[in-house]
Amino acid sequence: MERTLSIVKPDGIQKHLIGEVIKRFQDHGLKVIGLKMISMDKKEAEGFYAVHRGKPFYGSLTTFMSSGPSVVMVLEGEGAISKTRELMGATDPKQAKEGTLRRQFATNIEKNVVHGSDAPETAAFEIQYFFNALEIFEY
């Protein structure tokens, strides 16, 4: 079974989309095995998005991600990484397919409601960034 990390970003929290996002994932066979509300500071957001350091959007992205609380979750299921990304839609909501979370709810390419890991290695890094072993559950 594959695992991935998803985040309801600060804009998703402001738009009251926590339940909507979790329901979408669960309705498509993903199991929530870790879940919490956090508030990243700038340094924590910079560490999480370290792969994007140096890109033009890095400063604004990490300010946005540290602007308020987020909900972080570990999802488990067959093909969890690609399934989560399919349900999220493309990074830019204008490019995202009809019916995806970002198409439906995102404000713009930055404030796009939800995060999902993009590969097994990034999923492993991102899960351990927010969760220790005692915070992930088998059921």
Least distance between ligand UDP and beta carbon 8 (Å): 12
* Residue 65: C-alpha distances to residues 30, 107, 116 (Å): 24, 14, 14
Residue nearest to Mg ion (CB): 118
Least distance between ligand UDP and beta carbon 137 (Å): 26
Residue 91, binding choice from ligand UDP, Mg ion, none, Cβ under 5 to 8 Å by partner class: ligand UDP
Residue 26, binding choice from ligand UDP, Mg ion, none, Cβ under 5 to 8 Å by partner class: none
Using CB under 6 A as the criterion, which residues of the chain lie in contact with ligand UDP when the complex forms? 52, 57, 61, 91, 109-110, 112, 115, 118
**Cβ proximity to ligand UDP, 57 vs 137, nearer residue:** 57
Residue 39, binding choice from Mg ion, ligand UDP, none, Cβ under 5 to 8 Å by partner class: none
Contact partners, residue 105, CB within 8 Å, separation at least 6: 12, 15, 17, 20, 113
Beta bridge partners of 7: 72, 115
The answer to whether residue 115 is catalytic is yes
* Tokens describing residue 99: 């019916």
**Cβ proximity to ligand UDP, 91 vs 128, nearer residue:** 91
Least distance between ligand UDP and beta carbon 117 (Å): 8
Measured distance CA(53)–CA(46) in Å, rounded: 8
- E-strand spans in the chain? 2-8, 31-38, 70-77, 114-116
Amino acid occupying residue 116: G
Residues forming the active site: 115
